[in-house]
Amino acid sequence: MAKPHPDTKYIEALVNNNTALINEIYTRFADKITFMVTQNSGAEADAADVMQDALVAVYHKALSGNFLLSCPFEAFLYTICRNLWLMQLRKKSRQPVTNNGDVQYDKGTDIFKEAEAVINNNERRLLLEKKFDLLGEGCRKVLELAWSGKPLEEVASLLNNTYAYIRKKKSECMGRLAELIKQSPEYKTLLW
2 makes contact with another protein (CB under 8 A): no
Q: Count of CB atoms within 10 A of residue 62's CB?
A: 18
Helix axes 163-183, 137-147, angle to 10 degrees: 110
Q: Which of 98, 100, 106, 128 binds another protein (CB under 8 A)?
A: 128
Cβ pair 73, 7 in contact under 8 A: yes
Positions 146 through 185 that interact with another protein (CB under 8 A)? 147-149, 167-168, 170-172, 174-175, 177-179, 181-182, 185
Residue 32's φ and ψ, nearest 5 degrees, are -70, -40
Which residues contact residue 150 at a Cβ distance below 8 angstroms, ignoring those fewer than 6 apart? Answer: 158
Q: How many CA atoms lie within 13 A of 162 on its CB side?
A: 3
Task: Specify the stretch interacting with another protein by CB under 8 A; choose among 2-10, 67-75, 103-111, 139-147.
Answer: 139-147
State the residues that interact with another protein by CB under 8 A: 14, 17, 19, 22-23, 26-27, 30, 34, 43-49, 51-52, 55-56, 59-60, 63-65, 92, 124-125, 128-130, 132-134, 143-144, 147-149, 167-168, 170-172, 174-175, 177-179, 181-182, 185, 192
